[in-house]
Structure 1
Amino acid sequence: MTLTPRTIAALPKVLLHDHLDGGLRPATMIELAAAVGHELPSTDPDELGRWFVDAADSGSLVRYLETFEHTVAVMQTEEGLHRVAKEAVLDLAADGVVYAELRYAPVQHLQGGLSLQQVVDAVHAGIADGVAQAGEEEGRRIEVGTLLSAMRQADNADEIAALTIANRDSGAVGFDIAGPEDGFPPSRQLTAFRTLREANIPATAHAGEAAGVESVWEALQVCGALRLGHGVRIIEDIQVDREDDEIDATFGEVAAWVLDRQIPLEVCPCSNLQTGIAGTIAEHPVSTLRNLGFAVTINTDNRLMSGTSMSHEMQLLVDEAGWDLDDLEEVTLQAAWNAFAPFHVKQAIVTEQIIPGFEAARV
């Protein structure tokens, strides 16, 4: 069957890797920036949106991360955080997302005098209002949790781990480490990961994006991360031989561990092109990894910087990498079952939304 943009837009989607400060609406940024006196590259919404994509499309993770100076600047008040969180939920729901985990680093939102807990409270209140509005006004059911991120280059991971534990019953479903990967190994946050593990809080870690196999090994074996943020450079630990339509592969020890234990990979195709992991979607290792049996999930990373959405990511995989509806359903189910939500929530999403939604697309 032909997967048109309309068909893909209607599919139920699960999003595990989306940064709150990477998904702002350009028009909202302009209003918030005016209120706090922050100068943006443009005050025209269309031009501003293009600026973010162009600035991020440099092939450098360091340059990519610099674009966040503008988004973070307008997220320093309770009002700004609430609005950004609410609109993120509404935008995801409109794109067919039925479950999402929004990640952000609370420590980046203290410049206006807020406490860490005030930051979390504002985000969670915005998410709750977004979920309610999506359901009441648009008839869209969406579940949303947050991942509290510690920054690799900072030394406050223990504080963020404690904050995650304190908010486990108010919407924080897990922990993450983000920021520049190269030169800042996840083992720097070792005590935080230990504290979280002892408190039964799940954690993911950015690994295998800017750094390679060693970063993946540390995230899994030293820190005990349950998922890998990006993780696609695990391909460097695999020798792939192709003959006709057959794929023969020899796995290194780390790749074999990830495959055998089905460690989920939070793959973000468009973002990966911007940071130089591949030149095209067709060349991206995501298809090879999925064909080899890895637990691949598809994600947006930063919707503003990549000019993307879940529907857009899926459409590119269909158009440029030959994916079909079964492939999209497989990665959606993979994401649902590996969410950090309680089992009964995941089960309901799978049985009440994902399976019926994909069945409807086949009619």
Structure 2
Amino acid sequence: MEFSVEAVGSIENCFVSLPLPLIQTLQSTSSSSLPPILALELRSSTHSPHSWFVAWSGATSSSPSSIQVSQQFSDCVSLPIHSPVQVKVASNVPHASSVSIEPDTEDDWEILELNSEQAEAQILNQVRIVHEGMRFPLRLNGHTVITFHVASVFPKNAVVQLMPGTEVDVAPKTRKRNSDSPGDSHVGSNSEEHTAKMLLRLQEPNDLCRTSTHVKGVELHVGLTPVAFVHPETAKRFSFNMLQLVSIVPRVLSKENVKNSRTKSNIMKAKGSSAVNQVENGDTDNKENRQAIVHLLISESVAKGHVMLAKSLRLYLRASLHSCTLSCSNNHLT
């Protein structure tokens, strides 16, 4: 079936709205009910062999002859507006186990750093079908739009579907520093060399994060506070090396995000100090920004996109498990 493509301002995601005749055809030709997310291939009738893969989540177009998309999405994927396209269901689209994306610009990265929790919460609500090399917009706070580039997907198929279990890694895009003199140029290049940064989630510590010793017949477990552990692929992706010194800074949750975190999670009461309970529940005093400088160790027992710290170090940083994102940087460290 052939339809035209129309850009509308009311769509604020990467899903398409389909005309009612097309929806009825899809329903009548399907052997079962249509899935919540349906992958479609749009093939150009005038720019062959160009094609685009899009996702439909059930929205109906206001026009019986047009497939409607957001202007930002059509710009990102170079989907020609008002051009005729043929539509067919993309079959056997695998679920992505991991996807690596990069902000398009330094400005996009800086906005993402300030809104990382919201971006994580919104990505599955706004985009589901991706492929390597694709660009897509993500809307934050209802009006701010940042753009990403898909660097890689796994499994390595042409097109994959993002799912709640998909691991999404975001590579930073740091701003290059300008210099006005040869001396400043040397300092600037040296600083740029040491500004790698990664945003990681905290993983529950295991035996790697502690050592045991016996004192007068009593076994003591001591947390290894001078080190942090990451997965080999995480270290490779962000150019971090074994035993490299890095600074770890916890991301500060906004009051709204802390409130939502308390509402959504079941807080278990246990014996312990009030300070420990405050950290576990996300109720911390943010007046003092804490950081730690540690040696980086590499282990496959750490999940990709995560960092593992000793519990005592985590409590010092006032960082809660899973919900808190850490910024690990080697800036100014030699």
Instruction: Return the TM-score normalized by structure 1.
Output: 0.19
Could you say which structure has the higher helix fraction? 1
Which protein has greater RCO, CA pairs closer than 8 Å, 6+ apart?
A: 1
Could you say which structure has the higher strand fraction? 2
